[in-house]
Amino acid sequence: MKKLSIYLILFVLLVGISSQVMAITADEIINRRDKNEFVVSAYSEAKMIITNSGRKLVKEMRSWQEEGMALAEFTNPRDRGTKFLKRDDNLWMFFPEAEDVVKISGHMLEQGMMGSDFSYEDMLESDDLTDLYQFKLLGEEEVKGRTAYKLEGIKVPGKDVAYYRRIIWVDKDRFIGLKEELYAESGRLLKVAETLEVKEIEGRWYPVRSIMNNKLKKNTSTEFVLQKINFNPDLPEDIFSLERLR
């Protein structure tokens, strides 16, 4: 009996190792990308360049994040003091002028954050994409001079997700998302996100410049530029509390 179980364990291990050597699955690619882009805790400074029909708006912010929590504070003169607090699936906003905290929920989640092409909902999106989508590896393609896996994810029936279908290109070596197309159930392309620049920071590859295009609107895009990021910084205590938001 004991022998049998040892054989069994050995067998399972072997199968596991050989399949990894042989071919990587779609879910593994997504998980590796998410693991790579997932930040346990960080302090960052970034700017958002919102282009809408030729008009350009630049918004600057700094943010702190730790696992499911994040706090972002806008620093450009026009929005100075506006803060967002994300705690798992909840999002609050603080308006300095009204000195009021508002919970963003319902239809408000569909709106673009601070007028950008990133919706509040996009910000709240859960990281476990493989639970929500059935991923399929479509092949390999060249994206911006880099070889990338091309994957298609279709919503798992019964799951509440915003986008029915996603096409994702993941850098084959660095496991960084290079491009992502988000589709409606009707097949219409709604949004395209592209990574414009990747940098090696503290020993890991991290996207530092990306752009989101809302395909339902002409001539609008939002560029997100990460100017500084420190991984695992010392975060002030209770920084993610509602009290600190005010």
Q: Is 160 in the site for another protein (CB under 8 A)?
A: yes
Whether residue 220 contacts residue 201, with contact meaning beta carbons closer than 8 Å, is answered with no
**Of the candidate residues 185, 234, 237, 243, the single one contacting another protein (CB under 8 A):** 185
**Of the candidate residues 155, 166, 174, 179, the single one contacting another protein (CB under 8 A):** 155
Residues in the chain: 246
Q: Is 225 in the site for another protein (CB under 8 A)?
A: no
Whether residue 228 contacts residue 206, with contact meaning beta carbons closer than 8 Å, is answered with no
Q: How far is 194 from 204, CA to CA, in rounded Å?
A: 19
Q: Which is nearer to another protein, 189 or 196 (CB)?
A: 189
Q: Which of 146, 149, 197, 208 is nearest to 28 (CA)?
A: 149
Which residues between 5 and 64 bind another protein (CB under 8 A)? Answer: 53
Using DSSP's 3-state secondary structure scheme, residue 235 falls into: coil
Of 14-22, 57-65, 86-94, 210-218: span binding another protein (CB under 8 A): 210-218
Whether residue 230 contacts residue 43, with contact meaning beta carbons closer than 8 Å, is answered with yes
Q: Is 238 in the site for another protein (CB under 8 A)?
A: no
Using DSSP's 3-state secondary structure scheme, residue 108 falls into: helix
x/- map, 108-127, another protein, by CB under 8 A: --x-----------------
Phi, psi at 12, each rounded to 5°: -60, -45
Of 134-142, 156-164, 166-174, 200-208: span binding another protein (CB under 8 A): 156-164
Q: Is 128 in the site for another protein (CB under 8 A)?
A: no
**Of the candidate residues 219, 230, 232, 241, the single one contacting another protein (CB under 8 A):** 219
Q: Which is nearer to another protein, 113 or 143 (CB)?
A: 113
Of 90-98, 186-194, 221-229, 234-242: span binding another protein (CB under 8 A): 186-194
DSSP code string of 194-230: EEEEEEEETTEEEEEEEEEEETTSTTEEEEEEEEEEE
Q: Is 163 in the site for another protein (CB under 8 A)?
A: yes
Angle ∠(178,38,194) on CA atoms, nearest 5: 20
Q: Is 154 in the site for another protein (CB under 8 A)?
A: no
Query: Which residues contribute to the site for another protein (CB under 8 A)?
Result: 53, 106-107, 110, 155, 158-164, 184-186, 188, 190, 216-219
